[in-house]
Amino acid sequence: MYNFLLVIVIILSVLIVIGIMMQPSKQNSAASAFTGGADNLFGRQKARGFEAFMQKATAYMGAVWMILLFLLAYLSSK
């Protein structure tokens, strides 16, 4: 069980990295580097299409990844 979950975590880690790299860049100008993108935080429109799908998929994969890591930690302590 532990080894199976470990393999799933490794595969999910690679998928999360790929998912993050596929998301479009949100940095539009050099000013964003200094402000940290705070100017876009409140004026930003809701994501649509591929961008929305990638944001949701990355968030869900991250949540499952964290749950699996806690489960692995629990199993390794026994």
pLDDT along the chain (78 residues), means of 10: 94 94 73 57 68 90 96 92
Phi, psi of 20 (to 5 degrees): -70, -40
**Considering the entire predicted model, what is its pTM?**
0.70
b/e sequence 44-66, b meaning 16+ C-beta within 10 Å = eeeeeeeeeebeeebeebeeebe
The predicted pLDDT at position 52 comes to 86
